[in-house]
């Protein structure tokens, strides 16, 4: 198993550009989430999904879109990048409601200039 795979690992965007951060897992996990990590603020939940076709907003959803067309993939779209979106983004997954904590991907470091 590859676990949770995130691409790209690093990205620099100009303000106003759009892009998609990719996340894929091969563990047949139903639950998937996107977090951002900023210095001194821990990880904050952006969007999450409890199964294919089901998504919901987390704590900081503005400026981001998600979709979940398959169990394996959960891409995060930045619609119009802003410097405030400079952060490290983590995708995470787990099997289901009753399983323990999420497994995290290795992260994408995004810089918006």
Alpha-carbon span 33 to 44, nearest angstrom: 10
Chain positions 57 to 96 lying near another protein, rule: CB under 8 A, are 58-59, 90, 94, 96
Alpha-carbon span 103 to 112, nearest angstrom: 27
DSSP string, 22-34: EEEESS--SEEEE
Q: Return the residue of 13, 21, 25, 33 that touches another protein, per CB under 8 A.
A: 33
**Least distance from another protein to the Cβ atom of residue 95, Å:** 10
**Least distance from another protein to the Cβ atom of residue 106, Å:** 5
**Least distance from another protein to the Cβ atom of residue 45, Å:** 6
The alpha-helical segments, DSSP class H, found in 9-64 are: none
Provide the b/e sequence for 4-15 (b: ≥16 CB within 10 Å): bebeeeebebee
Regarding 26 and contact with another protein (CB under 8 A), the answer is no
Footprint on this chain of another protein (rule: CB under 8 A): 4, 31, 33, 35, 40-45, 48, 50, 56, 58-59, 90, 94, 96-107
């Amino acid at each position: 198993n590859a676990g949770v795979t995130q691409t790209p690992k690093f990205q620099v965007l100009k303000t106003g550009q759009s892009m998609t951060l990719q996340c894929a897992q091969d563990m047949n996990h139903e639950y998937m989430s996107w977090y951002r990590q900023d210095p001194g603020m821990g990880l904050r939940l952006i969007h999450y999904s409890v199964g294919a076709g089901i998504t919901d907003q987390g704590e900081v959803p503005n400026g981001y879109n998600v979709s979940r067309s398959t169990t394996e993939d959960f891409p995060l779209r930045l619609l119009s990048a802003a410097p405030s979106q400079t952060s490290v983004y983590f995708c995470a997954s787990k099997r289901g409601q009753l399983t323990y904590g999420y497994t995290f991907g290795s992260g994408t470091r995004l810089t918006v200039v």
